[in-house]
Every structure is written in structure tokens, then in C-alpha cells.
Amino acid sequence: MSLNWEHRLTHNETNQPFLDVLSGTVMPVPPVWMMRQAGRYLPEYRDLRAKAGSFLDLCFTPEFAAEVTLQPIRRFNFDAAIIFSDILVVPHALGRSVRFEAGEGPRLDPLDTPDKIKTLSSAADFSILEPVYEALRRVRQELDRRITLIGFCGAPWTVATYMVAGQGTPDQAPARMLAYRDPTSFAKVIDVLVENSIEYLLGQLEAGADVLQIFDTWAGILPPREFERWSIEPTQRIVEGVLKKAPGTKIIGFPRGAGAMLPSYVDRTGVNGVSIDWAAEPSLIRERVQSKVAVQGNLDPLVLIAGGEALDRAIDDVLANYASGRFIFNLGHGIQPETPIAHVEQMLNRVRRHKT
């Protein structure tokens, strides 16, 4: 792949508050965006979603994907836009036939035996992902230069949990079991995901992403030894692989539920920032995480549905815990479809009034 990084400006030239925080600056008012900010809580998203047909049609039609990426920016003027896609487009490009069934979440052909894993192709068909790159180019063109465009992928562990089980499960037991019973086969799935995720992330950078995020939604269900092997190590290899070709790229990790494993995740992966979930312990985060990298989070998405004084109190707690360090305000996980838009506005007003 030929790489052209010339269009990627340094944070000083772009003047993006979000990038400044990832470079170590403490902002008086933290930049803010929301995980899953383009989604079903927005009527304009639901309209376009109905027009597009399937969820993957929405992801792979650049005009539509660019439009839903920009919808929350127009409405709320967030400091970052995240490209509208899904972590499961990578297994899709690896030929694993991904479908999203209405109301049921993703469905894939289960990759749950060593024999099936032997047939897994080692290189994705990146032409399938070209519409994502085209959507990135369109969004970067339209987006105010001060707003950061985030490209992303799933961490190999999390993507593998869906590939093995063929769907989401409450505790991703099928992948955990396969990793115990046949670590060599499971490592092949992880290795294929590492290599193809590096390629995919570099493609997103070249298409206009300013920063990258790696979502490891299911990291927190692993015991420490497995966490090191299946979450930290593959993520570290992705960070290294991206930086080798695109030095200086800022990368955020999200090892959801990592708890007391977060400091070693940060030390060993080399990420520039971490998303934290709402159960994170503030003094551990401040002393052993925020002292080294930027922190992003961590309002409970449920309190954003509840609203009222409970929401004000929870926002103030997040700000009191983290806003005096390098900090990006976000939710601790994705916004839920039933969230009232007025509560998002209440959140933004309160965060943006904040001065350290």
C-alpha cells in the first residue's frame, strides 16, 4: 500500500483541542463527544437507517455513512466525530458473512473449531472496506478543522469473541473456552486480526482519520494472564504496527472493565489515551493512568437516560474526578437508543460551563 501522510497536520497546525489533550495538554474545558453518538437516539439517524435498508448497507454507502457521522456534530457541535462503521466490518472483509438482524445484534458464521479456523483467510479483501475510506474522505472534507475525526477498529480479542460465537453472548464463553482448549488455533484468529487491523487503521489514516481508537469491549471478562495474552499483547502489536508506518499517530484504547489491569494495559500497549468505563476507581485512574496518558470517559449511559439532578450530580463527579488532568469527556460506554436528546443538551451545557 502506498501511503501519503502529507495531509495529516500536527496538532499545532490543526488546533484541535481533542488532539492537544492526547498530546498532554490540560484544557480548561474538556473536549467532549459520545461513544455511539451516531445512532438510534437521533430521529435523523432512524430516518436514514430506514432508507438505507440493512445496517451494513448504511456502513458501506459512503454518502449515507458520511451523513450519519456528521448528524451528531451538526446537532451538538461535539469536539470529535467518529466514522460511522462497525468493528465487525473486518471479519466481513475476511469473508465471515456478517449480518445484523433487526433487534438481535450481529450474526456471523461461528468459527468455533480448529478445522474451521484452518480455513480462515489470512488477508482481508480491502476493496470491501473502500466505502469506509471514501466516507472518511467525505467527512474530513466537510468537517471543521478544529473537530477531530476518529477512525477505529475492534481489538482482536473482542472481534474474535463475535467471530467464534457467531453472535454476542452474555459472557463470551465460546471464545474464552476455545482460548483455553486450543490456544494455538485461537492465536491464529488473533494474529489474522492483528495484521488486518493494522492495515485497516493505516487505510483510515490515509483517508483522513486524525486519531484512532481500538475498542476492546470484552477485555474485562478475562483473568489477568489471559488479559495480558489476548488483550494487551495484540493491542500492543497493532499500536507498534501503526506507528512503524505512521509515526506520531495518536491512539486511544478502550479495554472495558479492565479495572486494576488498566495501568499495565497503558504501560505495555503504548496507547496515548484510554477510555474508562463508569465503574473505574478515580484515585487509581488519576495516579496510575492519567499521570501517563489522556483519559476519556466515563459518565454512566443510564444516568444520561435518567436526567434531572442525578445527571447533574454524575457530570459534576466525572469533572471533579478527572477534569484537572488531561481529559476528554465521554460516556463510560455507548449511548442507549432511549436517551432523550434534551439530556444530551443538559450534559453539554454543564460540561462546557466547566472551568478548572
Strand order in the sheet with 148-154: 80-82, 148-154, 211-216, 250-255, 273-275, 294-299, 327-331
CB closer to ligand CP3 out of 295 and 354: 295
- Comparing CA positions, the residue from 213, 330, 342, 232 lying closest to residue 278 is 330
- Comparing CA positions, the residue from 288, 298, 290, 255 lying closest to residue 272 is 290
State the minimum distance, in angstroms, from the CB of residue 194 to ligand CP3.
17
The only residue of 168, 241, 259, 263 in contact with ligand CP3, by rule CB under 6 A: 168
Q: By Cβ distance, which residue is nearest to ligand CP3?
A: 217
Residue 275: count other Cβ atoms within 10 Å of its Cβ: 26
The only residue of 9, 14, 27, 40 in contact with ligand CP3, by rule CB under 6 A: 40
* Contacts with ligand CP3, 187-226, as mask; x by CB under 6 A: ----------------------------x-x---------
> Could you give the CA distance from residue 38 to residue 83 in angstroms, rounded to a whole number?
9
162 catalytic residue (yes or no) = yes
At residue 66, the 3 state secondary structure works out as helix
Segment interacting with ligand CP3, rule: CB under 6 A, options 36-44, 131-139, 203-211, 263-271: 36-44
For residue 279 the three cell numbers come to 465503574
- Comparing CA positions, the residue from 145, 156, 153, 165 lying closest to residue 129 is 153
Segment interacting with ligand CP3, rule: CB under 6 A, options 11-19, 30-38, 115-123, 135-143: 30-38
In terms of Cβ atoms closer than 10 Å to its own Cβ (0-12, 13-18, 19+), residue 305 is: middle
* Contacts with ligand CP3, 95-124, as mask; x by CB under 6 A: -----x----xx------------------
Q: Which residues in this chain contact ligand CP3 in the complex, by CB under 6 A?
A: 35-40, 49, 55, 82, 84, 86-88, 100, 105-106, 152, 154, 158, 168, 215, 217, 334
Catalytic residues: 36, 40, 49, 86, 162
